[in-house]
Structure 1
Amino acid sequence: MRLIWTLQTFSWGDVPDVLVVALILFVASLIMRGPQATPLMRGTVVLVLVLGLLTTMLDWIAFRWLLNYVVTAVVVAIPVVFQPELRRALERVGRTGWSTMFGRAPAFSEEELVIEAICAAAARLSERRHGALIVLERNDCLDEFINTGVPLSAQVSPQLFLTVFWPKTELHDGAVIIRNDRVESAASVLPLSSGRNLTDRKLGTRHRAGLGISEVSDALCVIVSEETGRISVTNRGRMIRRLDSDRLRTILSAFYTGARTQAEAWPWMPVVSRVRKEVDRVRNSGPGNRAASM
């Protein structure tokens, strides 16, 4: 009855209220992206909606009293459950400042230094035939994999990469994960690829791990082969191989600096891009195209 009364008394003056709530939920969905946060966010929203509908539809006093306390407990638990994502969002706001909110793209000089450090280190590691696995975190949180390694919280530099991936060190057999232009961990364990994206079945564990992290997140991974010294990059489940320093720099600039600038200046653009790609995929797989391919 309360729900029906609310719908009957709804007026144009309530539209801004609904829009503000929708905007808050949309921003929260952008912040809480990640391999672990998305299912938790979805489950929390479903639980709150179901409890809210039961509270308004049922006229049971004791049950309503219990549901009110459950909803309160869920609201209190949200900051605890989503603590890594909330911390990452606050770090992003503090790093970008107010200029990003008004659409003025800042100069990411630190990220350019990161790109140069990775390119220089990859070239020297390639010459020495020292295997390397460098992961750049983007929007999806990688805490699950950072916690499997040795915490560093160090500044990015070619010397650090060369030291970590020296075959005699204890940290060389694993991945280095970079977050917010700093090396968060070394010797981190990454998930191996399921195999459907492997074009070469002879690829080793390092390449499978690089593909694996790109399949479960939007991270960018730089791989240096220990056997051949070749440099590869994985992203979104795809691998680009046989890169030199110039091509690696171009790819990192496009996928890392450009993607982060766009995502922070215009948070809704990644969603629009994904929707556009999905529409193009459905359109290209229409009956006419399938018949032509046959």
Structure 2
Amino acid sequence: MPAVLSEPVVSPANGNVPSALAVEAVSLSFGGVTALSDISFAVAPGEIRAVIGPNGAGKSSLLNVVSGLYQPDRGRVWLGGHSFAAVPTDRLAKLGVSRTFQNLALFKGLSVLDNVAAGLSHRLRAGVLAQVIGLPAARRERAEAHARAEELLAFLHLDGVRDRPAGTLPYGIQKRVELARALVARPRLLLLDEPMAGMTLTEKRDLSGHIRAARDDLGTTIVLIEHDVGVVMDLSDRIAVLDYGRLIADGTPDDIRNDPVVIDAYLGVAHDLEAGEGI
């Protein structure tokens, strides 16, 4: 079990509230090449936090440490005052963390409903054999999973495509299905890896609205990696900026867009002249 902090990590947004996520002095290297160097920041409950930076800045490595895929060389990650090391995906889900990846990972031949219900697979107690032969306990669990999935389909306005094979849907709708699957277990922390990649401006606006709704209506804390700076500036409460594995800035969108170090290392120009499309 994760170890409880003797003194809970608190968020800079509210000194009386334990952070939903805290990264403490995390360093990571691969074969002598430094990917992350002494990274520390905290994310408040209910916050949308973006992580940005040039290619190779360490963003994906950081998300892999936070999601338990990588064990850092030094430092720790805290979830709501509990520390954890590298863990399997199903164990991570039981800790209240869910993640999407840049590339779609849907079951293309299954219905939208079954894809979303698959997000609850870590909670199923009936064994594989019981599922295959349809024992009462397995049927009951399947019905409960589908009921939860139906709620998310309605929440994200996907109920009209519930029975469609996921692979037949437009790309932007498939990204929303993936978001529904990540949210169906009601995670405390949702990690999004380039959620807007490959999307049109209209699709970005649509998905951004649903991400906000996940925070506002479900109380989900969200950490996302995203290359579209316009989207990041409009969607995020706070932004962490990485460059060559170092944290060079951490603040509000206004702080970041006007930070000369960030402009020099990443943005190049002030946000009103930046190429990011925004939402």
Q: Which has the higher contact order (CA 8 A, sep 6+)?
A: 2
TM-score (norm 2): 0.28
Greater C-alpha Rg: 1
TM-score (norm 1): 0.27
Higher helix share: 1
